[in-house]
Structure 1
Amino acid sequence: MKSLVLIGGGHAHMITLSKLASFISKGYQVTVIQPSDYHYYSGMGPGMLGGTYQPDDIRFATKKLVESQGGRFVKAHASHIDPEANLVHLLETDETIHYDVLSCNAGSFVPKDIVEGERDNVFTSKPIEELNRARQTILEQANKGATSIAVLGGGPAAVELAGNIHQLCKNNVANKPTIQLFCGRSLMSGAPARVQKLVRKLLTRKGIEIIEKGYIKKVADGQVVIENNEAYTADIIFPAIGVKPSKIFANSGLDIGPDGGLKVNAFLQSTSHRNIFGGGDCIYYADQPLDKVGVYAVRQNAVLYNNLMASLEDKPLEKFSPAGDYLLIYNLGDGEGVFSKWSLTFSGKLAFIIKDYIDTKFIKLFQQFEA
């Protein structure tokens, strides 16, 4: 009996997870490995931090979905893959899991290496569960007294965190904290000029200090030191300086891209091992390196499902097409956002309303399968 194994229940695996019964009905064994019973939708993570959403609003019950269709759910971290023996090794136990076909949606992580020493008050946007702990810490400290919060980075993740930290504190704390955004030399440097302008305007209006005096030199002992040796005190720190793919592929002798992601071809298939596939932030798409945005994982859904089934059945594979431009909407807290697609860019309440509608519709589509 052939075995299909999925590492991670992320966005690129959603269709496959919702249709696990189609594999099982054909006699295939299906195992899903994930360190949590739930998968959180990262696009709504900052909104959860700010209090717009509760955890149940932004997560899928992966374990329930898998087991309800007759699959096996293993709550663990996949530590490395043995591609010659077709085995996945687990971090928590000595158990190994055999596969005939393997699909990886192991996600990405935000490095904390920039912070030296004590990290109890250091939080990242991934894993999303960490934002719950961050929320509680902010509320406790800001209700006790003056608090300084540093967000390290000037990209989309950083500005969304800063805006939603402001929303959280505006509504729930007695002492308004100082929120500083350390964005190197330029805020939202990769975005169009109008997006940069609108993001800056909204954050500045919220009283968030935007620091563009240089890149961060050192973070240690509650101090953020930048290139010109200016030092800033920080009680709570949010590194948001980009994401890196899971280290599992570099640890497993598989072909990887320059970012360490699983190197895949046009079929979302490993360039070194034909029975391994992948999608989402954890891959490096060899034909056209892709931005680390959820839209590509969503677009990969159907192709991954079709190719996993085809691989098990020894049938031809389907090519993935990244397609064209995609919509970007940034949630900057307080029910406000910045909308950008093609030449249309605007900010305000309507931008957030559109984002909320799209995100809520997406998550409810897959939450319905839990029933």
Structure 2
Amino acid sequence: MKKQLLLIGGGHAHMVTLANLGAFIKKGYGVTVIQPSEYHYYSGMGPGMLGGTYTPEDIRFATRKLVEAGGGRFVLGKADRIDPDRQVVYLEGSEEAIAYDVLSCNAGSYVPRELLQGNTENIFTAKPIEELLVAQKRILECAAGGKITIAVIGSGPSSLEIAGNIHQLCRQKAVTLPTIRIFGGRNFLPGRPERIRRIARIMLSRKGVEIIQSGYVKRIENRWIVLENGQEYAADIIFHAVGVKPSPIFTRSGLPVGPDGGLRVNAYLQSVDHPNIFGGGDCIYFEAEPLDKVGVYAVRQNPILYRNLLATLEGGHLEKFHPGGKYLLIYNLGEGEGILSKGFITFSGKLAFYLKDRIDRQFIRTFQVSY
């Protein structure tokens, strides 16, 4: 029987591998891809889709079409557990076991929901990206009836991008502008240079966005936000953007993980205990140098993963992944404005968003070209 390559997820770190499925098929290997949706959405453009800058078609990859056109097998489902001894992956809600000789995981991440209690109908998270479409519709429905309050929970970049794009959405659709509050704990944009934090506060203030830093959120119950100091705030719609955690599939499977629960991998992006299991993107813990949860690392891992998967099937030599130096950060604050930062360079305005838009669209076109 021919050797089988199994991919969990068609995300950013698997793009080069998916684009080169033919290289595996021509050598006689079988390729299967498991994904809970026929599409993979580019998270870097998610807030822009929420704000109406992009359509869903603008920011997604047709994973199923790409896989099947390349001669692979696409399985619509969610990988639930890996058995490294039997070399199979089990699907959620199914007894089917999908066998592999080499496995690569790009299982992504999720937004923890431990703080959420009661009715969560009007509470949304930044992942999965498709949820932002549901949120967009709900915002417009509520805002059409008059003034509403929207809360964004979180102190990271996603909170400022979501807030800015909610403002754009309501302004462009000519509905009543909502009251928007960001609950940023005690330190908004931690770990970012003070210049970025100051610019972000100024730009959000111009849009009427209030940043509350009087304490962390203790719980969210129905439409009430309760801070650790006892203060309570009501909101009609709540975005839970407190950061992401790696998929729990590795802990559930008893595989070696890092302190964040991500698959612990070595310099070759290879499981430290199972040499035929690889991973990339948000779902891994890179043992040599823990990495930020930013898409640039998944993009940089792309060619290394592709070559190492092929080499493992063929019994060849592996390549080491080098994270590289400083990376470019650009935040989309809506209405054609952004904040750009790399090293000692930081600026904001139309040019920053123009550059982000151009880079993002080029990335999308590169991997949409096959279909």
**When the two structures are superposed, what TM-score results if normalisation uses the length of structure 2?**
0.99
1:3-82 to 2 correspondence within 5 Å? 3-82=4-83
Residue 58 of structure 1, CA deviation = 0.3
In the alignment, the residues of structure 2 paired with residue 168 and residue 61 of structure 1 have an alpha-carbon distance, to the nearest angstrom, of 26
Residue 154 of structure 1, CA deviation = 1.4
SS in 2 for 1:332: strand
Q: Which runs of 5+ in 1 are unaligned?
A: none
Give the equivalent residue in structure 1 for 2:239.
238
Give the equivalent residue in structure 1 for 2:269.
268
SS in 2 for 1:339: strand
TM-superposition CA deviations, 1:143-194 (whole Å, max 9, x none): 0222111100111011111111111111114321111000011221210010
Conservation of the 8 A alpha-carbon contact between 1:139 and 1:173 = no
SS in 1 for 2:186: coil
In the alignment, the residues of structure 2 paired with residue 216 and residue 128 of structure 1 have an alpha-carbon distance, to the nearest angstrom, of 23
In the alignment, the residues of structure 1 paired with residue 203 and residue 104 of structure 2 have an alpha-carbon distance, to the nearest angstrom, of 41
Conservation of the 8 A alpha-carbon contact between 1:2 and 1:99 = yes
TM-superposition CA deviations, 1:58-80 (whole Å, max 9, x none): 00000000000110000000000
Please state if 1:324 is matched with 2:312: no
In the alignment, the residues of structure 2 paired with residue 173 and residue 183 of structure 1 have an alpha-carbon distance, to the nearest angstrom, of 28
In the alignment, the residues of structure 2 paired with residue 340 and residue 71 of structure 1 have an alpha-carbon distance, to the nearest angstrom, of 40
Give the equivalent residue in structure 2 for 1:135.
136
In the alignment, the residues of structure 2 paired with residue 25 and residue 257 of structure 1 have an alpha-carbon distance, to the nearest angstrom, of 36
Give the equivalent residue in structure 2 for 1:85.
86
Conservation of the 8 A alpha-carbon contact between 2:120 and 2:222 = no
TM-superposition CA deviations, 1:235-274 (whole Å, max 9, x none): 1111111100000000001000000000000000000111
Residue 228 of structure 1, CA deviation = 2.2
Residue 341 of structure 1, CA deviation = 0.6
In the alignment, the residues of structure 2 paired with residue 219 and residue 336 of structure 1 have an alpha-carbon distance, to the nearest angstrom, of 31
Conservation of the 8 A alpha-carbon contact between 1:142 and 1:173 = no
| Number of residue pairs the alignment of both structures matches | 370
TM-superposition CA deviations, 1:30-68 (whole Å, max 9, x none): 000000000000000000000000000000000000000
In the alignment, the residues of structure 1 paired with residue 175 and residue 244 of structure 2 have an alpha-carbon distance, to the nearest angstrom, of 33
SS in 2 for 1:144: coil
SS in 2 for 1:176: coil
Residue 94 of structure 1, CA deviation = 1.6
Please state if 1:305 is matched with 2:299: no
SS in 1 for 2:249: coil
TM-superposition CA deviations, 1:103-155 (whole Å, max 9, x none): 00000011122111111111111110000000000010110222111100111
Conservation of the 8 A alpha-carbon contact between 1:187 and 1:200 = no
In the alignment, the residues of structure 1 paired with residue 147 and residue 65 of structure 2 have an alpha-carbon distance, to the nearest angstrom, of 43
In the alignment, the residues of structure 2 paired with residue 335 and residue 115 of structure 1 have an alpha-carbon distance, to the nearest angstrom, of 33
In the alignment, the residues of structure 1 paired with residue 332 and residue 63 of structure 2 have an alpha-carbon distance, to the nearest angstrom, of 26
1:183-194 to 2 correspondence within 5 Å? 183-194=184-195
1:221-232 to 2 correspondence within 5 Å? 221-232=222-233
Give the equivalent residue in structure 2 for 1:177.
178
Residue 87 of structure 1, CA deviation = 0.3
SS in 2 for 1:321: coil
Conservation of the 8 A alpha-carbon contact between 2:250 and 2:257 = yes
Conservation of the 8 A alpha-carbon contact between 1:152 and 1:240 = yes
